[in-house]
Structure 1
């Protein structure tokens, strides 16, 4: 198991150009050196030790360097143990042996390269699955926190029937907003539509003001951005501006002059006096820099929480 994991890691992780060149040089020198240690090439079959090196090269190196390993190791072996190039006597036997070696090497390189691609794709899918599992856990916890916040807001209703009506309406809105959070899906990535659906469960009284030009959010930024907005809305409902009827939230966005960065600004006002959280939990992870969110600046002045999110669009 440990060996299989080691091999998988060796094949799955691409290497820099110069590292590959060093590997190629080693793989060219290794077959004739190994054959020299065994018998000095006296038993014939001079190119037998080249094939394992070619296979390793096809798995670890790109196609050009793997082909260079095949040619280089064969040429070095020929020079050391045969003493003259095969084309010095261009008869049918020499040509046939050369073609067998060339076709065998080419087959090994092609099959090894396809295997390398398959391993790297499988490794990528495995990493994505792990990310999706973590995302799913975070999302479930986030949805439970939202439902709890919605229930707390509904306690202020005059009767159980009114509470049920308001709570049911907000749950339906939450379900509609959750359509944006399908794992791995290509959801509607345009603002303000995405924000309108995301905040729907939290702004039945029109407490959240949206402002910004229509813009498309990069695909990799959609889920972390929506999760961040959900977290800000949840915190605002539990402790901030959305916890009182008179509270207001401004959600604005704009492209910076260079057109390479989207800035999203969340600002609360007219809510209870805000205090910074005493501990960092799941919300801190959602409201921090991560793949898809280049930077997140979250502050808790007494007048109301505010957050600035930066997203790379280049």
Structure 2
């Protein structure tokens, strides 16, 4: 115990000073470490996803460029053949295209067509020739304007289908986007793609978006020092079909792709593959098809706020932080409770020591009082029975007051209870009149014992010789506060036998006990007078507040 008390004197430890802040701080630090770990995992996952998106975007771009290069190879071979022919006739064109075996390899395209360049004045003759063949409804459309020198109508488009027949006779020079692409192809001599157009195969002007790839065909003989442009071999592409057939859907892994045509006014959407669910990160990359720059945008599928690993890390961090919070709270609470227990043990040890010293003091005082009573009683007693009776009564008076102190746990005792306890044998006789009154005052244990002894002696004397010995006698005891911590108690006897003036000077045992022992214990003189009307005694007793002895009243 002394070792524990010595430890207590070292002062509270730092974690005892902050019993709530320490667990919260540990929880916050643990969660901060967990969040940093989650952030690192998410950053790595984000980098991995970006790399995957970039790789997928590269794969999509490569697929589109590969499809465009395959188309360019067919157009190159077609241009080489038709350049060697003086006229491109329908049977030759159909046979050549059939021999290419485009099915399954030339995906995304509506086929291969031939558009011949001619002057505006030759249009009626060409229309007549085509109608005389297998195109009875052939006509160049729209009708060329007077200021236009040349037209480039579609002569053939294979494979022959209802959709492709809608394009026969359409003047390619009549539309600005197609015209610009053909001019670039004529200058470069390379396959050249248009931007976003609506194919003439579409039944409606606002039909699906598409584009065309033109390959110029020149005459072998030069005219005026250069080869004459005879027309264009071209391939029309439906943008949506071209996009979906050029990429591997499994490779997208749920991502979305959009194909744009960059124009001075912005990006024009041509085709798209919708992502699975909500889209997340997006990446744009240019792709060149037959000399024309397109733009593809890949939208990765939306991912969860946290990956599975991050969620598990966050949950694990929260669990560990909570356990550490509870553990730290229990440890700090236990340390505080231990310190409180040590303080309580120290307090109890101090109380025990104080009680031991006080008990020793009171026992000594009580024994001193008893010895004084015995000594005075022995000197005044004339016989052994008289000595025994007198001694017994006084010891009983001390015992009665001790009983009151025991009931109050040796705390403060009211004046009224002490007086009533000593006068209890006389208050039972209804013929004897007792008047007891005064305010509620508290006495210390020693003062209560002294007052009880004084009241006992006065009551015994009154019962033998004074007011309590006759029926008409009356005893009045009243008290009042005279100073802050001092009370005056008056004992007044009336109606008793008259006191002989010659006997007033005889000092009996009770007189000596009150004037010597009681006055000494109360630390104030006692005024005891034997008037002819009766005995009058005035005592001054120190009073205490009720909380003056809480050591005995409120502690165990």
Instruction: Report the TM-score when normalising by structure 2.
Output: 0.27
Instruction: Report the TM-score when normalising by structure 1.
Output: 0.45
Which structure has greater strand proportion? 2
Larger of the two Rg values belongs to structure: 2
